[in-house]
Chains A and B, each alone.
Chain A
């Protein structure tokens, strides 16, 4: 059990907790001291007394959630002490600034991967391989049906999808932070008449560009734009705008969604997208197995998604001491 008393990290209603340091990791409720692994809103909660995160995550958090957060930013790979417990942040490859958290007490090492990706991504540092005794690994896509194709291929699909529909506006829905910038770092703007982005995406792009990350040339989408001008163009929007009311003003339109979930046709159909592009900022089945094995952990806990299947599979096949954490949220 993860919640056994002598464990350095335990799971509580409010999230993962290190009692010896009185520090929480991505807590769901306001706490005294929180380490934030990355700037996606489901990993952040307002109202904590103190936040600790990577430099890039700090920039993004301030932009998204306000300038007056009490933030302490730390370089990757640099150790810092809280109550005598040794912490360090390491790239997890998920999005810009995303971190794994390594915690050392005495000779015992714990590693929390948080969301991670093993594919290359020009907009963030690659996942750093680390050895640990105890591993808490994400498992969002923990089934063997999830196998990601190379980024180049998906970018190629997207480009063709847009350019082969000259008389339509192509709306590609994607998360405003992370996915949008990853796509923009790969798309070649010369292949498109125009690329428009939603203002929530533009807001994030500014930070990426200020860090010297190259993104395709874009214009900001404005609801007052002449609809005809959008023909034959690519429009990146957050998924929340995928509703009939919003879409009806575009006369000819095709919609797509860029997500690992698009592996499953039923999910695409249910959301009403014309096309799904399978591209994810998480590890796929083989990526997760590789991550777990490389960590050499003697105990593994899986967090989020289909962990139960992956845990059963690896326990049988590799004789690993592995278990899924309960969803507490």
Chain B
């Protein structure tokens, strides 16, 4: 029941790529530890909003101060290792006196007492307390201890793995365990008892969202292998995927990131509370343009999300709607195992008709998504190409005969996104990545031409394959002009095709433009920097 034991588990999970071995380790661990210890372990492993007791940066500064090591040297190590907790644990090995008494400590003590008390302390006390804790911790536990401190657990133990282990252990289907893990997560004994309960009681899940169904990327092959008639077509909305749950008098709005956002959208809660029926809806929250009858920019929605309790003015200026595209529960009945066409029927007939009486026409804040009439694959192509005009991300194609299942099930839902916008940019800066990409230059900045000067217009991290990353890393090291801490400026020589979903005017950026989700789609080895795009070109892509 202890940090020692948890540390050993971590080591086992971290040094086995085999999923079966990981599940075995977890099962063995759960069986031999207390309920409280287990729920705290799950809390740490699945990293569900783990508390950060101290930032990685402060931790590095404390180390520098306590052990009199120049901070630049620690930062160099950090760039190499890519994780603060790991750097500290490696550095400490050299400094900890072996003769100190090392004691084991329960996860409960650590997470519920020692660390919460630590975060309450003022600076100088905090530092000396951390020193004390470091000295008490064994070398073997140092990594895990510092990871708990910084709240950074990414060790390849997903929710899926924990779900599988528990499912294995108690012989209950994974989807039920997954459901039990949805929503709020209070790391207390009761939660664990609930998680491993072998009896199924619908009521216990009352306040929980269902696991979301997700779409796969469109596979052109289905055009040949399946008939278009078996699909339903919807717009792919660019908002916040959410579930609205109304059960008796309880209403909750959960995002796909499993955050409860009732307070962020009080106007939705208010309207829903007037509805007579109970239901669980799956859909999207959007900022709506009533005049043009289409969504507004995603950035406005982000602004809205930033406000935890929005004023009346903000509610008026940034009005939200919820567009439902599926119904998972109607008046207390779980209807996820009904096929989509039946669920759509219920959504239109039972749900939407019933609320039409409750909603006055001027403020239809709860909508249902329209089905698009697409009769052949050419029309699908046209619909995709015109999707940008109605401010959607493309289409979602859903199999009418599919049940609502958790996760990404092949053959049920497909997303068909509009072709991205593209600009060719010149690589000008590079920075090492973190985590798995530590000490590899994988964070890049790109520039385009403004008259005869290159101006930075995008940062991108993803898109190259491992081989290209290694090749580019070598090139960057050889062609560095200057170093600013971890950042290197490089010879402007390489051209890359940068794809993005949207482009907007931005005062915050030097270039005056901001891109949505920029990524590298091709290394243009055929192009010279003179062939890169211009800022003028980029600005022409902006539409209002």
Q: Which residues of A contact B (CB under 8 A)?
A: 143-147, 254, 263-267, 269-270, 272, 274-276, 285-286, 306, 309, 312-313, 316
* CB of B497 within 8 Å of the partner chain: no
What chain A residues lie within 8 Å of B437 (beta carbons)? 266, 270
- In addition to A266-B81, A316-B70, 17 A-B residue pairs with Cβ atoms within 8 Å of each other are A143-B73, A144-B77, A144-B90, A144-B91, A144-B94, A145-B77, A145-B90, A146-B90, A265-B83, A265-B86, A266-B439, A270-B436, A270-B440, A274-B17, A309-B76, A312-B73, A313-B70
What chain B residues lie within 8 Å of A264 (beta carbons)? 80-82, 86, 438-439
B16 touches A274 (CB 8 A): yes
What chain B residues lie within 8 Å of A143 (beta carbons)? 73, 76-77, 80
What chain B residues lie within 8 Å of A272 (beta carbons)? 17
Output the nearest chain A residue to B90 by Cβ-Cβ distance: A145
- Complex Cα spacing A275 to B12, Å: 9
Please give the distance in Å from B467's CB to the nearest CB on chain A.
13
What chain B residues lie within 8 Å of A285 (beta carbons)? 94
Output the nearest chain A residue to B82 by Cβ-Cβ distance: A266
C-beta contact mask, B81-111 vs A, less than 8 Å → 1, else 0? 1110011001101100000000000000000
* CB of B452 within 8 Å of the partner chain: no
- Complex Cα spacing A33 to B419, Å: 62
What chain B residues lie within 8 Å of A145 (beta carbons)? 77, 80-81, 87, 90-91
- Complex Cα spacing A147 to B93, Å: 7
B321-335 at interface with A (beta carbon < 8 Å): none
- Complex Cα spacing A143 to B77, Å: 7
B80 touches A144 (CB 8 A): no
B438 touches A266 (CB 8 A): yes
A272-B17, A274-B15 in contact; A144/B81 too (CB < 8 A)? no
What chain B residues lie within 8 Å of A270 (beta carbons)? 436-437, 440
What chain B residues lie within 8 Å of A254 (beta carbons)? 16, 18
B1-43 at interface with A (beta carbon < 8 Å): 14-18
* CB of B69 within 8 Å of the partner chain: yes
What chain A residues lie within 8 Å of B90 (beta carbons)? 144-147, 263
Partner pick for A275 among B15, B70, B73, B440, CB 8 A cutoff: B15
- Complex Cα spacing A266 to B87, Å: 12
A144 touches B15 (CB 8 A): no
- Complex Cα spacing A299 to B58, Å: 36
* CB of B171 within 8 Å of the partner chain: no
A266 touches B16 (CB 8 A): no
What chain A residues lie within 8 Å of B438 (beta carbons)? 264, 266-267
* CB of B512 within 8 Å of the partner chain: no
Output the nearest chain A residue to B483 by Cβ-Cβ distance: A308
Please give the distance in Å from B542's CB to the nearest CB on chain A.
39
A313 touches B73 (CB 8 A): yes
B17 touches A266 (CB 8 A): no
- Complex Cα spacing A275 to B16, Å: 7
- Complex Cα spacing A180 to B228, Å: 61
What chain B residues lie within 8 Å of A316 (beta carbons)? 70
- Complex Cα spacing A145 to B90, Å: 5
- Complex Cα spacing A254 to B18, Å: 9
What chain A residues lie within 8 Å of B435 (beta carbons)? 266
B contacts with A, residue count (CB < 8 A) = 27
Q: List 9 A-B contacts (CB under 8 A).
A: A143-B80, A144-B90, A144-B91, A145-B80, A254-B16, A264-B438, A274-B16, A275-B15, A306-B80
Please give the distance in Å from B478's CB to the nearest CB on chain A.
9
Partner pick for B14 among A265, A306, A312, CB 8 A cutoff: A265
Please give the distance in Å from B435's CB to the nearest CB on chain A.
6
Output the nearest chain A residue to B68 by Cβ-Cβ distance: A317
What chain A residues lie within 8 Å of B70 (beta carbons)? 313, 316
C-beta contact mask, B116-127 vs A, less than 8 Å → 1, else 0? 000000000000
Partner pick for B436 among A146, A269, A309, A312, CB 8 A cutoff: A269
Please give the distance in Å from A94's CB to the nearest CB on chain B.
22
Output the nearest chain B residue to A148 by Cβ-Cβ distance: B93
Please give the distance in Å from A169's CB to the nearest CB on chain B.
13
C-beta contact mask, B421-439 vs A, less than 8 Å → 1, else 0? 0000000000000011111
- Complex Cα spacing A266 to B93, Å: 19
- Complex Cα spacing A286 to B70, Å: 16
The 7 A-B residue pairs with the shortest CB-CB distance in the complex, in nearest-first order: A266-B438, A145-B90, A275-B15, A147-B93, A147-B94, A145-B77, A269-B436
What chain A residues lie within 8 Å of B77 (beta carbons)? 143-145
Please give the distance in Å from A289's CB to the nearest CB on chain B.
11
What chain B residues lie within 8 Å of A276 (beta carbons)? 15
What chain A residues lie within 8 Å of B17 (beta carbons)? 272, 274
What chain A residues lie within 8 Å of B72 (beta carbons)? 312
- Complex Cα spacing A254 to B439, Å: 26
- Complex Cα spacing A312 to B72, Å: 10
What chain B residues lie within 8 Å of A312 (beta carbons)? 72-73
- Complex Cα spacing A264 to B432, Å: 15
Please give the distance in Å from B143's CB to the nearest CB on chain A.
9
Please give the distance in Å from A273's CB to the nearest CB on chain B.
8
Please give the distance in Å from A149's CB to the nearest CB on chain B.
8
Output the nearest chain B residue to A256 by Cβ-Cβ distance: B15
What chain B residues lie within 8 Å of A275 (beta carbons)? 15-16
Please give the distance in Å from A253's CB to the nearest CB on chain B.
9
Output the nearest chain A residue to B477 by Cβ-Cβ distance: A327
B432-471 at interface with A (beta carbon < 8 Å): 435-440
- Complex Cα spacing A297 to B123, Å: 43
What chain A residues lie within 8 Å of B440 (beta carbons)? 270
Please give the distance in Å from A184's CB to the nearest CB on chain B.
22
- Complex Cα spacing A285 to B80, Å: 15
What chain A residues lie within 8 Å of B83 (beta carbons)? 265-266
What chain B residues lie within 8 Å of A286 (beta carbons)? 94
A309 touches B93 (CB 8 A): no
Max chain B CB contacts within 10 Å: which of A143, A274, A306?
A: A143
Please give the distance in Å from B79's CB to the nearest CB on chain A.
10
A144 touches B69 (CB 8 A): yes
- Complex Cα spacing A265 to B16, Å: 13
C-beta contact mask, B56-78 vs A, less than 8 Å → 1, else 0? 00000000000001101100110
What chain A residues lie within 8 Å of B87 (beta carbons)? 145
- Complex Cα spacing A312 to B76, Å: 12
Please give the distance in Å from B305's CB to the nearest CB on chain A.
32
A145-B80, A275-B15, A286-B94 in contact; A309/B86 too (CB < 8 A)? no
- Complex Cα spacing A270 to B17, Å: 12
What chain A residues lie within 8 Å of B81 (beta carbons)? 145, 264-266
What chain A residues lie within 8 Å of B93 (beta carbons)? 147
A266 touches B73 (CB 8 A): no
Output the nearest chain A residue to B139 by Cβ-Cβ distance: A149
C-beta contact mask, B198-217 vs A, less than 8 Å → 1, else 0? 00000000000000000000
What chain B residues lie within 8 Å of A263 (beta carbons)? 90
Output the nearest chain A residue to B478 by Cβ-Cβ distance: A327
- Complex Cα spacing A146 to B14, Å: 20
- Complex Cα spacing A306 to B90, Å: 16
- Complex Cα spacing A306 to B81, Å: 13
- Complex Cα spacing A75 to B87, Å: 43
What chain B residues lie within 8 Å of A267 (beta carbons)? 438-439
Please give the distance in Å from A97's CB to the nearest CB on chain B.
31
